[in-house]
Amino acid sequence: MSRQFWLPRPLFSLFLALLWLLLNRFTVAHLLLGLVLGVVIPFVTHPFWPERSRIKRPGRVLRYVLLLLVDIFWSNLIVAVRILRPERHLQPGFFRYPLELDDEFAITILASTISLTPGTVSAHYDAEAHTLLVHALHLEDEAATIAGIKQRYEQPLKDILR
Amino acid sequence: MNAIDIPWLLELVIAVFLLFGAVVALVGSWGLAKLPDLFMRLHGPTKASTLGVGCTLIGSLLYFSHQQGGVSIQEALVTMFLFATAPVSAHMMAKAALRRHLKCVTRTRNPPSP
């Protein structure tokens, strides 16, 4: 059997083994268990993985993560305030977000970002229409919300992968 | 194990993180109890609780880093897992709700057609 078959993603295997050791005390038993998990998990989940994405600009990943952390903080505060205010002030709504990204992994990241940040939860990915159905807790201006997501999150993601 | 004395400033910072995290998590749970439909209720746990647990974990990270002398990396990993998994579970719940055509409040804009 070839290496490609047993170790489809060697870096991911190494990452899993290290992660297991970080979560546990370092002993030989945990090292062995971590290595076994590192081989078994990629082997079992490999068929579900999308095509390999290439990160073109790793420096921008860090910038994106920092931006995300700050935005998570603020949007959480906004959501908390909206929950505390009387419910009749809320105007919930759905909207369709037209995707420009093609890469499946990047779309996953964008959907997660939408769910974690500005008062929105992504509900459905329509592969044919190439849109995300998004629910917003408080939807005032649909076009402005879409433009905001596009400029703040989708554009940086495109830059990272381009 | 006896607790090592903590400088008061660090103690204050840890207390602020823990209290703030607890309050935000409480608000998130309050939203879960109060909001009228499933889609709106989803916002409570995905956001407010993520920040709440995140702040609690930062407090815990600071405390145990000080106690054990060295960065306690486990809390940082837990936070990472939380941020990676919360949106996925919210997405799956929203998808299931859409499939089952659950009702949303009547004033919802552009409700999905059944």
Name the H helices within A10-153.
Answer: 10-23, 28-45, 58-84, 104-116, 142-149
Q: Is the dihedral of CA B29, B34, B39, B43 positive or negative?
A: negative
Report the residue from A23, A94, A116 with minimal CB separation from B112.
Answer: A94
Q: What percent of chain A has pLDDT over 70?
A: 90
Tens digits of residue pLDDT in A38-60: 888 888 877 777 666 666 777 77
Q: Given CB atoms, is B55 within the 8 Å cutoff of chain A?
A: no
Tens digits of residue pLDDT in A71-89: 888 888 887 888 788 777 7
Do B64 and B1 meet the contact criterion of CB atoms below 8 Å apart? no
Check A121 against B94: CB less than 8 A apart: yes
Q: What percent of chain B has pLDDT over 90?
A: 4
Q: Measure in Å the smallest separation between the Cα of B61 and chain A Cα atoms.
A: 14
**ipTM of this predicted complex?**
0.70
Tens digits of residue pLDDT in B9-51: 888 998 999 999 898 888 888 888 877 777 778 777 777 777 8
**What pTM was estimated for this model as a whole?**
0.73
Return the structure tokens found at A85: 């205010």
pLDDT at residue A2 is higher than 70: no
Among B20, B37, B47, the strongest candidate for a mutation testing the A interface, having the largest count of A CBs within 10 A, is: B47
pLDDT at residue A4 is higher than 80: no
- Domain residue spans in chain A? 3-48, 58-161
